[in-house]
Amino acid sequence: MNPVLELGLIALGLYLAAWVSKRLGLATIVGYIVLGLAFGPGSLVPIYTPSETVHLFGELGLILLLFFMGLEFSPARFAEGGRAIVVAGTIDLVNFAVGFGAAMLLGYGWLAGLFLGGITYISSSGVIAKLLAERKLLAYPEAERTLGVLVYEDLAMIVILGGLGLLTSGGGWQEFVGVAAVLVAYGVLLRWGRKPLERLLSREGETFVLLLVALVALGAMGADRLGFPEAVAAFLIGMMLSESDHKERLEETLVPWRDVAAAAFFLEFGLSVELGAALAFAPVALGLAAVTALVNLASGYASGRATELSHRASLGHGLMLIPRGEFSLVIVGLAASVTALPEEVRAGLTGIASLYVLTLVIVGSVIFVRYDRINERLARLLLSPAARRRLRERERRLAEVSLGDG
């Protein structure tokens, strides 16, 4: 297909998907994903196919989503919340056991269990970053804890992906040298690179835009070439610029780029799901999604309370971490190439993971759209009887005071 025609069809489709989603009261993410499912390669009307154009914009969308997430999370704030992040992130590891246990129950074996454990462990930084920004929830206290845990998870994925790669391909210790080099370079930039960056960011007009896109894209892809996840690298670049004098101008300039490219990212996700093959594993995938959501809610609540969040905010933290996405698909892609796994196991992992991720993206987006209402009702439901009585008494007194003032 002509690239310009393809770009036009993508833009029109994404516009219509966003419009329909908003009319139905859903997050636009759902519309973008459903567009890929409904008009992708396996559909009755295959308008869209995985291509260089879609992949380019999709990759840029993921990078910009994480970059903007980093802008809201400065190194100073990260250092201040270091202990809380480590505690919350460590408790969050229980989600790995969900997938590992499921694989063992299915008879897939321990190796497949490691892959499925990784799939159920990591929340989607891209999806959650988009939903937090779209629903204007970044100022909530639980959002800050969620961002910290996402960083913890993304850094843990370096170890998980590296370990799985070494385990299945026989790589050596050299695989981790690039990761160390990226972290050292980042530390040097934090210490000595701020003033030069401030001078560079004083540019105006199109030179400012070009510089920003070059900085984020080259930084993320350079790190990726060294074995460091590009999404984490983009997040770290955002953190580095979060205290810049040019932060507001930077956000205003790149927001349209982020929103358009992020739409393509979720379209690409929809195109990657082989819905026909996945439906054969629907009972397992949906059951696993339900268990994951419940465990995520419980572990999120436990980590929130352990790090001094309120009852309500702790439940919200668990709700915010429910969506799965890009890294889960990366892991299942790696599993599909591992010849040590039987072919039927690889097919099972692919089918389960595709429908599992899709389900939790949709469920998560619905939760975010009605976040305050769901969180409030859940918080009331899970209060102890004594706490409920105290809450009713407090509400009664407030009502009496209001009537007295009237």
pLDDT given at position 398: 60
Of residues 382 and 399, more confidently modeled: 382
How is residue 181 written in tokens? 């080099």
pLDDT digits (tens, 9 = 90+) for 317-368: 999 999 987 678 778 777 777 778 888 888 888 888 888 988 898 898 889 9
Are both 249 and 395 inside the same structural domain? Answer: no
- Rounded mean pLDDT of the chain? 82
Q: Clarify whether residues 379 and 364 are in a common domain.
A: no
Domain co-membership, 364 together with 382? no
Q: Does 406 lie in the same domain as 335?
A: no
Model confidence at 259, pLDDT cuts 50, 70, 90, reads confident
Residues 314 and 406 in one domain: no
What is the mean predicted confidence (pLDDT) over 97-120?
92
Give pLDDT, residue 276.
73
> Domain total for the chain?
2
- Domain shared by 21 and 108, yes or no: yes
Same domain, 341 and 402: no
The pLDDT tens digits of the residues spanning 43-71 come to 778 888 888 888 888 888 888 887 887 78
State the pLDDT at residue 334: 72
Contact 148, 75 (CB under 8 A): no
228 and 377 inside one domain:
no
- Whichever domain contains 57, its CATH number is 1.20.1530.20
Do 320 and 403 lie in a common domain?
no
Q: pLDDT tens for residues 173-226? A: 555 677 788 888 888 888 888 788 888 888 888 888 888 888 888 988 888 888
pLDDT of residue 402: 56
> Domain check: are 208 and 220 in the same one?
yes
pLDDT class of 290 with cuts at 50, 70, 90: very high
Taking CB atoms within 8 Å and a gap of at least 24, the contacts of 142-145 are 142/304, 142/309, 142/313, 142/314, 142/316, 142/317, 142/320, 143/320, 144/73, 144/77, 144/81, 145/81, 145/84, 145/85, 145/88, 145/303, 145/304, 145/307, 145/309, 145/313, 145/317
Range of 375's domain? 370-406
Check whether residue 196 and residue 58 sit in a common domain. Answer: yes
258 and 377 share one domain:
no
Structural contact between residues 265 and 65, judged by C-beta atoms closer than 8 angstroms: yes
Determine what percent of the chain is predicted with pLDDT higher than 70: 88
| Chain-centroid distance, C-alpha 397 | 42
- The confidence score (pLDDT) of residue 205 equals 80
The pLDDT value given to residue 73? 67
